[in-house]
Amino acid sequence: MKKALLSFVLLYMAFSHAFSQEKPLRILMIGAHPDDCDIKSGGTAALFAKMGHEVKFLSVTNGDAGHMEMGGGMLAKRRYAETQEVAKRLGIQYDVLDNHDGELLPTLEIRLDVIRKIREWGADVVISHRPNDYHPDHRYTGVLVQDAAFMVGVPNIAADTPPLRKNPVFLYYQDNFQKPNPFSPDIVIDITSVIDQKIYALDAHTSQFYEWLPWIGNETDVIPEGKEERVAWLKSKRALAPNPMVKKALEEWYGAEKAAQVKFAEAFEICEYGTRPTREDILRLFPMMGK
């Protein structure tokens, strides 16, 4: 009798524990090109994935103009293959919409595609560009996501996908542009523990980090030939210390002692158009914060 009772209690506790666990968070990071999400939030994505949450990167263009020697369908195919390698290295999913690089406009058709993607993913958090940026594709991706922010809950818009019953929290990636308004680091994530994984993911974009971006940026560095040397070179270019504003925000979220140990971080600004999260909401949606 006692053994049977003990077995029942243990079974009940197991079921109770299983049902008490919150479902994995679903994070959608949207970039204009097939490397933007990786640059802006690859470390945060890696942390989410390690914790068992679901992350998807979405590129709104196919990247078919981002090279000095090749372009069109051949480049788009190459860049898509690079995104799928990134997905493997970060433990995420990566989608690419078939819009031309450098020609993006905030049309109704593309807005509906973005709405569908947010709904299909069931996103708790959506992160994208601010609409003031040097690149028109970045700006218009920001506008498209802003325009989708309320509409994801409207049943008669993109009626072929079920509306979300709760508006996600929408966030912006960090940038350095000051006009008409500077970036505000409302949420800051310590990515020091996964910086090498982030750089390894960026390394998958061979066409960009070892070819196109050095060329368009007129970098005079000689790109290393060896695999390890290339990754080390890439880390020297892309793993940068937090700026003073981000350091201050780190102290607010992590405390001064822990913040002083943070070598690398990713920061995000809260968009006013989605759900406005409380501090408790932020800690729930970003469970790696402060740890």
CATH of the domain at 280: 3.40.50.10320
Q: Mean pLDDT across the stretch 48-76?
A: 98
Q: Can you give the pLDDT at residue 203?
A: 98
Strand 265-270 and strand 187-190: the pairing is antiparallel
Give a yes or no: residue 96 inside a domain: yes
Decide if 176 is inside a domain: yes
Closest residue by Cα to residue 55 from 24, 26, 33, 30: 26
- Whether residue 29 contacts residue 56, with contact meaning beta carbons closer than 8 Å, is answered with yes
- What local confidence, expressed as pLDDT, does residue 254 receive? 96
Q: Does a structural domain hold residue 249?
A: no
| Residue 286: pLDDT band with limits 50, 70, 90 | very high
Inter-residue contact 169 to 125 (CB < 8 Å) = yes
The pLDDT value recorded for residue 84 is 98
Classified as helix, coil or strand, 207 is: helix
pLDDT the model gives residue 217: 94
Tokens found for residue 26: 């679903």
- Which of 77, 64, 153, 150 shows the shortest CA–CA distance to 103? 64
Task: Look at residue 50 and tell me if it is in a domain.
Answer: yes
Is the pLDDT confidence value at 72 over 90? yes
- Give burial (CB, 10 Å; 0-12/13-18/19+) of 99: buried
Residue 195 maps to a domain:
no
**Model confidence over 167-187: pLDDT tens digits?**
999 999 999 999 999 999 999
Per-residue confidence band for 137, with pLDDT thresholds at 50, 70 and 90? very high
Helix (H) or strand (E) holding 108: helix 108-121
Confidence band of 221 (pLDDT split at 50, 70, 90): confident
122 pLDDT higher than 80: yes
- Burial letters 64-79, b for 16+ CB under 10 A, else e: bbbbeeeeeeebbebb
For position 279, what pLDDT does the model report? 96
List the structure tokens of 217.
Answer: 């940026």
Mean predicted confidence (pLDDT) in 217-244: 93
**Structural domain harbouring 122:** 25-188+268-285
Task: Report if residue 84 sits inside a domain.
Answer: yes
Domain total in the chain = 1
- Tokens representing 210 are 């070892």
State the angle between helix axes of 227-238 and 195-203 in degrees (0 to 180), rounded to the nearest 10.
120
Identify whether 211 is part of a domain. no
Q: Is residue 256 part of a domain?
A: no
Model's pTM, two decimal places? 0.91
